A and B are shown apart, each in its own frame.
Chain A
């Protein structure tokens, strides 16, 4: 075995760091899914009648739909009756401040490296933490409310700001948009809601951490961010899950809505449990993320670093409805061992002079499969639409695969669409060059991979970028063949 292979072997056998469970007494629904479960969830959350009706409608639509088969991934059939759809960590009363939050929970987050305590690392970042199905604590609430920024759990928003939820829930991702979105609409448990009022530049990063804790539970969060005219917000989403033998389902929906001149920057560092090195266990991540640039001159920017999950099915998209609106998608998707990712974006140009930019960097190692799927659609009235797409794939070893599926659909002749694609391999020459300078092989690969992904990593807020770099290195170092 050559040295490279040895290192590959060592690194890829590194276990998932976040694999542990905390014993929180949970409050669970029975396994399976039917109308009663939907009612149970809604009742648990003391929801108003209209929301229950909305859920039931989604559930009935979902029953008539079929799971999509077009993604370039294979997995055993999911038994939707074998999943627990609601699981809440038991808490006697809803906490009013951090000091009232279950210390076990706080410990959980500390293990994740996320401190909910305001003095610590994330100073300047407001955090909403979602563990299993419930939103646990939101920090910095007061400071934000002075500016009129609403940042709270979804369930709280349903109670406190029903008019906003009624207006925007499903406005970007309709309940019957796709199979997983419909499922989510029926059973979503919690998530974050965020509203930035007119003209306000949110002074801190808003952040959510998701963690799946209980066994056999699906996690179905719902995130809704509304940026009113001329406002700006940067939002971070981080995720982890413990190691389990069975696969766990995660089907979230994220909706972003920007009005005239508003901007939302949404960043994700996804590190769900990818399964072990033989492909056992891991999260199935079927997520619908979409942003609607409703107003003129508005902008939505997605940045994602995807390193986890056994299967990823995810296409953060932008609907560019307002004239002069801008959509961006920056992505690094890493797959290793038996992971499969089918990810990319859709840019739908509807308004005039709309622009979109796609930068996708796929990295495949081990026996993994990594697909980029992107659609650029320029509608009839979208004069002067511009798109630039760049899709790069990096292969490590010769047992993995990289695939690119670009779909371009232009109905207006004034459109200018550019698409570039490259595939490369980390070269022995590059590695040797590093070795000759005294850099060991692991660090060499980390250096090269981070260099390759730099354009995307640069889009992340500072503290996230550092985390993402480490994550990339951890997932991949040494995977050269």
Chain B
């Protein structure tokens, strides 16, 4: 194996209140790979993303997560982000009065500070922004507006990808970034993700639809069901799910 292990999840369990949601997840993601996570509604996909990014209301009740040699679960959410984890939210929140530009400036400079780099001056920041705007085909007028406020569903998703482009994460987790996108926007978003792919980063794509995977071609596809990965395969698995639905997997699980 010449791949560097980026993320290694072992027997991860998590609950909210008394409700157990993740029931022992095992997953290994190497640099350069794209993993797709599929699964029926309520199976725990967003929960997994939240736990990895450090949301406090989920209590990790067992298991380990190693991210580039660090115990991820020990890190604060902001430090996880600074170490290179990025989550594109399924439902991005609105922050009135704060423009995306201002938001990104704050984020980027805090990340740079953590890494011992100097803050970007205004000119370099603007250059970087222009470059990334082109990459995800987003308009500056959107970036001047209050973050996500009054954005259409598609604009919110595109804005998430713009932020990802700006922060250049090592591991990006895209939670249903395709939902709510029209065909053109889907292509643009997927193109953006593809352009950002390289052998040093990795992507986890949470989706319900094979359609996205036509554009962002995954190396592996996993099916999450009742808080466990019950099936893993290559991109053909996604096609099979598209054709047959989840019932056959569910019954396989019950039989086993």
Contacts and interface: CB of A to CB of B under 8 A. Distances in A.
Contact of A437 (B54, B56, B57, B103): B103
A339 to B, nearest CB: 23
A438 B111 contact: yes
B132 interface: no
Contact of A451 (B55, B78, B81, B96): B96
A436 B102 CA distance: 16
B106 interface: yes
B98 interface: yes
Contacts of B103: 434, 437, 447
Contacts of B96: 451-452
Contacts of B97: 450-455
Interface in A440-465: 440-441, 443, 447-448, 450-455
B32 to A, nearest CB: 23
Interface residues of A, number: 25
Nearest to B77: A435
B98 A437 contact: no
B78 A430 contact: no
Contacts, number: 77
A439 B106 contact: yes
B114 interface: yes
B95 interface: yes
A430 B53 CA distance: 14
Contacts of A439: 78, 106-107, 110
- Chain A interface main SS type: helix
A407 interface: no
Interface in B50-74: 53-57
A20 interface: no
Contact of A2 (B53, B56, B98, B106): B56
A3 interface: yes
11 contacts: A430-B93, A430-B94, A433-B92, A434-B103, A435-B81, A436-B81, A438-B81, A440-B110, A443-B110, A451-B95, A451-B97
Interface of A: 2-3, 427-430, 432-441, 443, 447-448, 450-455
3 closest pairs, A vs B, by CB? Answer: A451-B97, A451-B98, A438-B81
Interface of B: 53-57, 76-78, 80-82, 86-87, 89, 92-98, 102-104, 106-108, 110-111, 114, 146, 163, 167
Given A3-B76, A432-B77, A436-B78, 17 more contacts: A3-B56, A429-B93, A430-B93, A433-B93, A435-B76, A435-B81, A437-B104, A437-B163, A438-B81, A438-B108, A438-B167, A439-B106, A447-B98, A450-B97, A450-B98, A452-B96, A453-B97
